[in-house]
Structure 1
């Protein structure tokens, strides 16, 4: 069982979602750029521990980098996103995705700080956040998490059977506006000159 594992409490006590308890480590690293001397990157996702507390804290600092721990993320698995987890575990490098934002409120010496918002194992979640123009980074998920995720996928993901493609002659016809078109093979009726 992964070090991350816990059950997510739900409003209905009979329903519990599989859940990991995680913490995110963000790294602020010095880069050789006169306009922007520092940049933030995702460093790791680790099992959350009670001793981490509830607030971000500085883990390490020197002249070239800082590492910040952000505790308390629940990574829940949802039955409705089994395909998103399947797409993750079947890639060459299954991973955690982390959505993070620069926040002024949590500033360091007057500079904004990178604050993780969401941690997910779903390929679909990551894609939606990327489509929304959010900053999304990934780190490789450890083997015990992948085994746990694979077990969930094995139980809940159903591959859709490939449907036989209908012959082109059976496709409905549409006019240039996308409305159903009617085709008549009978003689025209009504109107001038028709008998």
Structure 2
């Protein structure tokens, strides 16, 4: 079994007050931190006050896959390289009296995050620290091969016209059939 480069992380989500009367609270991704054994395996409330809450979700592994090298390259070359976290709201009656956000996947691949967004998932990002960006950049440099552009021999506009049988064809702008002048 091949081991992939990976880093163990934990996700911190926060509940923040909004100015909306209809939705006084919203959840957002706060940060991605290195996972520690002391965090345990279950989500836990870190802080709660009148302004909101912070929840720790431990136990995630961000792996680097060769077939996602382009996604890492795109992330590294942006002005703000980031962690991407897919999360959903879930009822956790044994943990909290109301639904809480539940991170499902953490990645560094720009392409993978884009696929999740295309699937209408909730995906947020937070800045990745420099040592993670360097690690991801080294992997991308070692495994990303830009697709070679195919060179065309001659522009499409200079190609000769042919019908579906390969016979020469022509285009006319004059009227070939139908009525015209002289009807009276």
Residue in 2 that maps onto 1:135 = 122
Partners of 2:161 and 2:168 within 8 A in 1 = no
Residue in 1 that maps onto 2:62 = 75
Residue in 1 that maps onto 2:110 = 123
| Cα drift, residue 105 of structure 1 | 3.5
TM-score of the pair, normalised by structure 2: 0.83
| Cα drift, residue 108 of structure 1 | 3.1
Counterpart CA distance in 2 for 1:172 and 1:121 is 48
| Cα drift, residue 172 of structure 1 | 9.8
Counterpart CA distance in 2 for 1:30 and 1:185 is 70
Counterpart CA distance in 2 for 1:172 and 1:74 is 56
In structure 2, which of residues 50, 61, 65 is the aligned counterpart of residue 63 of structure 1? Answer: 50
Which structure has the larger Rg over C-alpha atoms? Answer: 2
In the alignment, structure 1 residue 145 sits paired with structure 2 residue 132: yes
Structure 1 or 2: larger strand share? 1
Equivalent residues, number = 166
In the alignment, structure 1 residue 108 sits paired with structure 2 residue 91: no
Residue in 2 that maps onto 1:157 = 144
Residue in 1 that maps onto 2:30 = 43
Residue in 1 that maps onto 2:177 = none
| Cα drift, residue 30 of structure 1 | 1.6
Residue in 2 that maps onto 1:191 = none
Counterpart CA distance in 2 for 1:60 and 1:34 is 24
Instruction: Identify unmatched segments of 5+ residues in structure 1.
Output: 1-11, 176-180, 187-195
Counterpart CA distance in 1 for 2:43 and 2:165 is 65
| Cα drift, residue 147 of structure 1 | 0.7
The secondary structure found in structure 2 opposite 1:17 is: coil
* Alpha carbons of structure 1 residues 171 and 114: separation in structure 2 relative to 1, 3 Å: farther
The secondary structure found in structure 1 opposite 2:10 is: strand
